[in-house]
Structure 1
Amino acid sequence: MSRNQARRFAIACIAAAAVVMIDQSSKAAALTVLSEYQRIPLLGDLLGLQLAFNPGALLSLGSGATWLLTLLGVAATAMLIVAAARARTTGWAVGVGLILGGAMGNLIDRLFAPPAFGRGHVTDFLAYGNWFIGNFADVALGAGVMVLAGSLWIRRQRTRTTAEGDHTATAPMLEVGR
């Protein structure tokens, strides 16, 4: 691993660790302070705080197969660690690190939260209107996807600019050769 690669891997690991620390501490606070039966409004009906336990994935999909979601979480975490080690840009490292941290935050719940090891329910507390209730790990997952999309867009713009610059630089030379 080159020095730059090691630096990008470290950035991804730091981002992931920060997400896990914030996610797990915010879930611990939510468990202490919030209730499943009462919502605390933050931005009217748009955003509030309410405790929930999700056996499934996004929007409670797969709630009957929590053990399978745990296995998928372990596999995704392993693949994200490999992706972090192979990150070619700092932006990519940050994006993968955010996604890795989000995946690990929810995986920790699946492994260690009730009702049983490997079948734990994810602690959620960020209530988005009447749509769904999530947590900080979910926010990090979404932010990571946006960072990766932004990195890809920037890379595409740079590639397009470079290609256009090469085309205009060679075009006059082609006409001279005729």
Structure 2
Amino acid sequence: MAEAERTIGTPDVDDDGTAPAEQPRGRRRIVALFAVAVAAYVLDLVSKIIVVEKLEHREPIQVVGDLLTFQAVRNPGAAFGMGEAFTFVFTFIAAAVIVVIIRLARKLYSLPWAIALGLLLGGALGNLTDRIFRSPGVFEGAVVDFIAPAHFAVFNLADSAIVCGGVLIVLLSFRGLDPDGTVHKD
């Protein structure tokens, strides 16, 4: 086994060079990752289609008094509208995140990590779809945001999936659970 694989604990092969007994379990985790990603992506995509059709160029809808409104906003930048001139960079970063998650998926043996990475993947795909296909053009598109809490930035379901996935990854890391299903105590 390669030293790097031994260090990060990837179970491609056991110490004796044979395949680990838990290989089928790993495949199920990949299915979970992609199921969560597809669910997050579809919910985001459908919500944005509805927002563009029903809410864009109209008055915001009050959901919970002044605390929460739905209001269509096109955001070419990142969180809080920062970096509007760097849309292409955000597109590249989202694509890189997607590639890294897909590469990591083949060594995924942990259901909580599959859920976390699935949320990240679905959210990244949702916002990447906007950046590629929405106006003003390919790789320069503005993301559709619509959830507007009082005194906070306007965001969308993809952003929520990314934040929830990120928080879950931090919690899993603090608990010592690795993507390959091993637990370490530091």
TM-score (norm 2): 0.79
Instruction: Deviation per CA, 1:113-144: give whole Å up to 9, x if none.
Output: 11101111001110121321110001111111
Q: How many residues align?
A: 160
Give the distance between the partners of 2:169 and 2:92, measured in 1 at CA.
24
Same amino acid, percent of matched pairs = 31
1:83 corresponds to which residue?
104
Residue in structure 1 matched with residue 54 of structure 2 by the alignment: 33
Name 2:161's counterpart in structure 1.
140
* TM-score, with structure 1 as normaliser: 0.82
Deviations 1:84-140 (A, max 9, x none): 332231101100110110001000000111110111100111012132111000111
Gaps of 5+ in 2: 1-11, 13-22, 178-182
**8 Å Cα contact 1:8/1:85 also seen in 2:** no
Counterpart amino acid of residue 105 in structure 2: A
The 1:33/1:90 distance shift into structure 2, 3 A limit, reads: same
Task: Report the aligned-residue RMSD.
Answer: 1.9
- Who wins on radius of gyration, i.e. which is larger? 1
Determine whether 1:13 maps to 2:34. yes
In structure 1, the partner of 2:25 is: 4
With 106-115 and 63-72 compared, the bigger mean Cα shift is at 63-72
Higher helix share: 1
Q: 2:8 matched to which residue of 1?
A: none
Q: Is 2:156 the partner of 1:131?
A: no
Structure 1 CA distance for aligned equivalents of residues 156 and 105 of structure 2: 23
Given residue 94 of structure 1, which amino acid in structure 2 is its aligned partner?
I
